[in-house]
Structure 1
Amino acid sequence: MNFDPQTLRYDEKGLIPAIAQDHASGQVLMMAWMNQDAVAQTLATGRVTYWSRSRQAFWVKGETSGHVQKLVDFRLDCDRDCLLLLVEQSGPACHTRRQSCFYTAVREGDEVELMAPLTDQA
């Protein structure tokens, strides 16, 4: 059965949440939004492409930073309203230079940073 991006359940703005997870470690890296064209482009190129709500434009992950996400597996949840992208991440996934955007925990009412920004290797 061929997959058709039109069969996904997008929100009223034509977007669907996409969670990026490192395929090897299982670490959740980030969450961003995709529209139908971003889904199609990701599947066609193997380079993860999101929809930037602030810029109202496509965002090919790593295009400017070099921190590319190569698609390994593309999964749909049971309701077809959320995506799980298993990726091969090159460099940090977060714009803060952390491996994951989920680097802050709330423990006993306090925010705790779980990871420091990555430093450049000379």
Structure 2
Amino acid sequence: MSDLDTSLNWLDALKWDESGLITTIAQDATSGRVVMCAWMNRDALRETVASGNAVYWSRSRGRLWRKGEESGHFQKVLSIRADCDGDVLLLSIEQVGGIACHTGRESCFFLELQGERWVPADPVLKNPKEIYSRGV
């Protein structure tokens, strides 16, 4: 049986951390590849549902982050699922432009442990200096 109380309001049913955030995984709907992991707060989740585009909470910026607002690499949300505990969200997305990572790669999960070293295993599809006007 699920720990998620589905009798509650859909937002209240989720388990938000002490900062009011929930871990959110974005997975490409076509390939099944996990392209990124980020955070959402209630406002981000509400806006994501209303707009159909992924909106996250940027802990470093301290504000809502509309994925693609600077890069043009938006995430169209096809479905949203919660895990059995209600403390992780899974977005099935269409990654516009094929790049999810600020490094210019398809996925933020591009580092592979080889022996005792992390090695980039995926190519850069586009130089970040070409994606972001002010650089990264």
Into which bin does the TM-score normalised by the smaller protein fall?
over 0.9
Match of 2:58 in 1: 52
CA contact (8 A) 1:6 1:36 kept: no
Q: In structure 2, what residue type is equivalent to 1:88?
A: E
Task: Specify the SS of the correspondent of 1:39.
Answer: helix
Match of 1:101 in 2: 108
Length-normalised TM-score, structure 2: 0.83
The count of aligned residue pairs is: 120
Q: In structure 2, what residue type is equivalent to 1:112?
A: V
Q: In structure 2, what residue type is equivalent to 1:85?
A: L
Deviations 1:3-24 (A, max 9, x none): 6212210100000000000000
Task: Specify the SS of the correspondent of 1:72.
Answer: strand
Does residue 115 in structure 1 map to residue 94 in structure 2?
Answer: no
Which ranges of structure 2 fall in alignment gaps of 5 or more residues? Answer: 1-5, 128-136
Shift of 1:104: 0.3
CA distance in structure 2 between the aligned counterparts of 1:66 and 1:27, rounded to whole angstroms: 20
Percent identity reads 49
Length-normalised TM-score, structure 1: 0.93
Q: In structure 2, what residue type is equivalent to 1:54?
A: S
Larger Rg: 2
Match of 1:9 in 2: 15
CA distance in structure 2 between the aligned counterparts of 1:33 and 1:119, rounded to whole angstroms: 25
